[in-house]
């Protein structure tokens, strides 16, 4: 049997975009309606992708904004990032742009595995502020994966973390490591 591989990933984004809801949906398979700002929580989950098994450590961070100074713990030992904005909040879209820039600079401008997530897609009809093509274009400019999601939907949420694990392997291999 191949060895269990460890992956540590961070969920980042402006407050109330659905970071905790996505983490809960992924780990517990449930959507939680109430809103309590997160300090920082870590979840562990075994994930199977293809033939490989991963011990995924997921860190749900307190929300950031344009002025947040990213701590070293957001860089060192982190394999990949889920950057979340809400499709109902232009401000949250601006914030992910700043966050990506800061991460990219702190990581020495090397290629980093990122999934950009436009969450709350279920509210898009009533209150969309960020178009799908804007999210897609931004992710393309980073060389990242893009998805719109609703934390109410377990399959879509699952897909975010599966894709990130695949992307971590892809970026690793393109550097000749595995």
State the residues that interact with ligand GDP by CB under 6 A: 13, 15-21, 33, 35, 37-38, 63, 119-120, 122-123, 150-152
CB of 104 to ligand GDP, least distance (A): 22
Residue 80 has φ and ψ, to the nearest 5°, of -165, 170
Q: Smaller CB distance to ligand GDP: residue 2 or 37?
A: 37
Query: Per-residue DSSP letters for 90-108?
Result: HHHHHHHHHHHHHHHHHTT
Name the residue with the smallest CB distance to ligand GDP.
Answer: 18
Q: Smaller CB distance to ligand GDP: residue 13 or 135?
A: 13
Q: Smaller CB distance to ligand GDP: residue 17 or 103?
A: 17
DSSP letter, residue 127: H
CA 76 – CA 16 distance, rounded (Å): 26
CA 142 – CA 69 distance, rounded (Å): 21
CB of 23 to ligand GDP, least distance (A): 8
CB of 113 to ligand GDP, least distance (A): 21
Helix, strand, or coil (residue 23): helix
CB 12 within 8 A of CB 75: no
Q: Smaller CB distance to ligand GDP: residue 111 or 152?
A: 152
């Amino acid at each position: 049997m191949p060895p269990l591989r460890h992956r540590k990933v961070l969920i980042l984004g402006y407050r109330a975009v659905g970071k905790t809801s996505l983490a809960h949906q992924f780990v517990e398979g449930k959507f939680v309606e109430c809103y309590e700002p997160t300090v920082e929580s870590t979840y562990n989950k075994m994930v199977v992708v293809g033939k490989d098994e991963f011990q995924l450590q997921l860190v749900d961070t307190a929300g950031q904004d344009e002025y947040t100074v990213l701590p070293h713990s957001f860089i060192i030992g982190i394999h990949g990032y889920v950057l979340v904005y809400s499709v109902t909040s232009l401000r949250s879209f601006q914030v992910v742009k700043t966050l990506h820039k800061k991460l990219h600079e702190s990581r020495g401008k090397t290629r980093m595995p990122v999934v950009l997530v436009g969450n709350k897609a279920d509210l898009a009809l009533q209150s969309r502020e960020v178009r799908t093509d804007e999210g897609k274009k931004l992710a393309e400019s980073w060389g990242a994966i893009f998805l719109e999601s609703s934390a109410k939907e377990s399959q879509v949420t699952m897909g975010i973390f599966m894709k990130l694990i695949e992307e971590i392997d892809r970026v690793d291999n393109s550097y000749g490591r595995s």
